[in-house]
Amino acid sequence: MKFHSLALSLEPFFRSQCPSLMMTDWTRCCCKVIQSVTGSTGQHQNAPNVCIPSLARPGHLLHFDFAQASVPVKVNDETVMRSKENLWRVRNQTTDCRFTSVARRCHLDNMTSAGQKLYATLPFERIATNFKQRGGYLNCRQSFLGSPLSRCFHSSSRVSRKDRKHPKDRPDVLESTEEGTDVANDLGSDGTYSEDEEYDNELDDENLTDELYEEQVTLVTPEGGHKVIVVQPNVKWGAKKQHLTTGELMLAESVALVETLPYWTVVDTVLMSTKTPDKKMIFGKGNFQTLTEKIQTMKEVTAVFLSVEALTGRQQKEMEEAWGVPVFDRYTVVLQIFKDHARTKEAKLQIALAEIPYLKTRISEEVANLDQQRGGVRTRGGGGETFRELRRRVLRQKETAIKKALVRLKKKRDLLRLGRTRKEIPVVSVVGYTNSGKTTLIKALTGEERIQPQDQLFATLDVTAHAGQLPSKMTALYVDTVGFLSQLPHHLIASFNATLEDVRLSDLIVHIRDVSHPDTVNQKHNVLEVLNNLQLPQHLLDNMIEANNKIDLLDGESSVPEEDEDTVINISALQGTGLDRLREVVEEKLFVATDTVMTTLRIPMAGPQLSQLYKNATVQGVQVTEDAEHLDVDVIMGKAAFAKFMHAFKGKVRQL
Ligand X SMILES: Nc1nc2c(ncn2[C@@H]2O[C@H](COP(=O)(O)OP(=O)(O)OP(=O)(O)O)[C@@H](O)[C@H]2O)c(=O)[nH]1
381 touches which of ligand X, Mg ion, none (CB within 5 to 8 A by kind)?
none
Give which of 633, 593, 595 is closest to 613, Cα–Cα: 633
Query: What minimum distance in Å lies between the beta carbon of 430 and Mg ion?
Result: 9
Output the smallest distance, CB 571 to ligand X, in A. Answer: 7
Report what 344 binds from Mg ion, ligand X, none; CB cut-off 5-8 Å by kind: none
> What 3-state class would DSSP assign to 102?
helix
Nearer to ligand X, 579 or 633 (CB): 579
Segment contacting Mg ion by CB under 5 A, of 205-213, 336-344, 435-443, 622-630: 435-443
Beta-strand pair 108-109/4-5: antiparallel
Asked if 283 and 291 touch (Cβ cutoff 8 Å), the reply is yes
Which CB sits closer to Mg ion, 439 or 446?
439
Which one, of 306, 307, 282, 285, lies nearest residue 295 by Cα?
306
Contact 41, 50 (CB under 8 A): no
Q: Between 60 and 513, whose beta carbon lies closer to ligand X?
A: 513
The one of ligand X, Mg ion, none whose footprint includes residue 287, by CB under 5 to 8 A per kind, is: none
Provide, rounded to whole angstroms, the least separation between the CB of residue 260 and Mg ion: 13
Cα separation of the two ends of the chain: 92
Are 6 and 47 contacting, i.e. CB atoms less than 8 angstroms apart?
yes
| Closer of 273 and 452 to ligand X (Cβ) | 452
CA dist., res. 362 & res. 374, Å (int):
19
Q: Which residues touch 459 (CB under 8 Å, ≥6 apart)?
A: 341, 435, 439, 452, 453
* Partner whose binding site includes residue 121, from ligand X, Mg ion, none (CB under 5 to 8 Å by kind): none
Q: Residue 233 binds what, of ligand X, Mg ion, none (CB under 5 to 8 Å, by partner type)? A: none
* Least spacing, CB of residue 332 vs ligand X, in Å: 19
Helices 313-323 and 285-297: crossing angle in degrees, nearest 10, is: 50
Give the Cα separation of 502 and 428 in Å (integer).
10
Nearer to ligand X, 198 or 552 (CB): 552
Which of 344, 355, 304 has the alpha carbon at shortest distance from 328? 304
Q: For residue 612, what is the enclosing H or E element?
A: helix 609-616
Site string for Mg ion, 451-480 (x = CB under 5 A): --------xx--------------------
Site string for Mg ion, 381-420 (x = CB under 5 A): ----------------------------------------
Residue 572 interface partner, choices Mg ion, ligand X, none, CB cut-off 5-8 Å depending on type: ligand X
Cβ at position 228, least distance to ligand X in Å: 21
Q: How many residues bind Mg ion (CB under 5 A)?
A: 4
Strand bridging mode 226-234 / 303-306? parallel
- For ligand X, give the closer residue by CB, 106 or 573: 573
Residue nearer to ligand X on the CB measure, 385 or 514: 514
CB 43 within 8 A of CB 141: no
The smaller minimum CB distance to ligand X, of residues 163 and 455, is found at: 455
**Residue 618 interacting partner from ligand X, Mg ion, none (CB closer than 5 to 8 Å by kind):** none
Distances (CA, A) of 543 to 507, 568, 573, 637, 647: 9, 11, 21, 20, 31
E strands, 251-309, are 264-273, 303-306
Query: If contact means CB under 5 to 8 A according to the sort of partner, which of ligand X, Mg ion, none does residue 66 touch?
Result: none
The interface partner of residue 456, options being ligand X, Mg ion, none and the CB cut-off 5 to 8 Å by kind, is ligand X
88-125 per-residue burial string, b: 16 or more CB within 10 A, e: under 16: ebbeeebeebebeebbeebbbebbbbbbbbbbbbbbbb
We find the least distance from the C-beta atom of residue 481 to Mg ion, in angstroms, to be 8
User: What number of other Cβ atoms are within 10 A of residue 403's Cβ?
Assistant: 15
Question: Is-contact 31 64, C-beta < 8 A?
Answer: yes
Q: Is 440 in the site for Mg ion (CB under 5 A)?
A: no
Q: Which CB sits closer to Mg ion, 208 or 530?
A: 530
Q: Which is nearer to ligand X, 340 or 424 (CB)?
A: 340
Question: Which residue in the set 143, 439, 446, 548 belongs to the binding site for Mg ion (CB under 5 A)?
Answer: 439
User: Which residue type is seen at 518?
Assistant: P
In angstroms, what is the minimal distance from the CB of 550 to ligand X? 4
Quick one: which segment of 26-34, 288-296, 396-404, 436-444 binds Mg ion (CB under 5 A)?
436-444
CB of 576 to ligand X, least distance (A): 9
Residue nearest ligand X, CB atom distance:
483
Q: Considering CB distances under 5 to 8 angstroms, the limit depending on partner class, which of ligand X, Mg ion, none binds residue 454?
A: ligand X
Toward Mg ion, which CB reaches closer, 439 or 618? 439
Q: How far is the CB of 507 from ligand X (least distance, A)?
A: 21
Q: Which does 457 bind (CB under 5 to 8 A by kind): ligand X, Mg ion, none?
A: ligand X
8 Å CB contact between 75 and 32:
no
Residues whose CB is less than 8 angstroms from the CB of residue 150 and which lie 6 or more positions away in sequence, other chains included: 141, 142, 143, 144, 193, 397
> 168 or 343: whose CB is closer to Mg ion?
343
- Out of ligand X, Mg ion, none, what residue 524 binds, judged by CB under 5 to 8 A for its kind, is none
Shortest spacing between CB 432 and ligand X, in angstroms: 6
Indicate the residue among 142 and 439 with the shorter CB distance to Mg ion: 439
Residue 432 touches which member of ligand X, Mg ion, none, C-beta under 5-8 Å by kind: ligand X
Q: State the nearest-atom distance from the C-beta of 573 to ligand X, in Å.
A: 4
DSSP assignment of 401-463, as one string? HHHHHHHHHHHHHHHHHHHHHHTT--EEEEEEBTTSSHHHHHHHHH--SS----SSTT---S-
Q: Which does 113 bind (CB under 5 to 8 A by kind): Mg ion, ligand X, none?
A: none
Task: Give me the residues that bind ligand X (CB under 6 A), please.
Answer: 432, 434-440, 453-460, 483, 549-550, 552-553, 572-574
Give CA–CA dist 621/642, Å, rounded. 17
Burial of 79 (0-12, 13-18, 19+ CB in 10 A): buried
Question: Residues of 140-159 as b/e, b for ≥16 C-beta within 10 angstroms?
Answer: bbbbbbbbbbbbbbbbbbee
- In angstroms, give the least distance from the CB of 262 to ligand X: 15
CB of 110 to ligand X, least distance (A): 48
Element holding 616 (H helix, E strand)? helix 609-616
Q: Which is nearer to Mg ion, 460 or 609 (CB)?
A: 460
Least distance from ligand X to the Cβ atom of residue 197, Å: 38
Rounded CA-CA distance 423/55 in Å is 61
Q: Interface with Mg ion by CB under 5 A: which residues? A: 438-439, 459-460
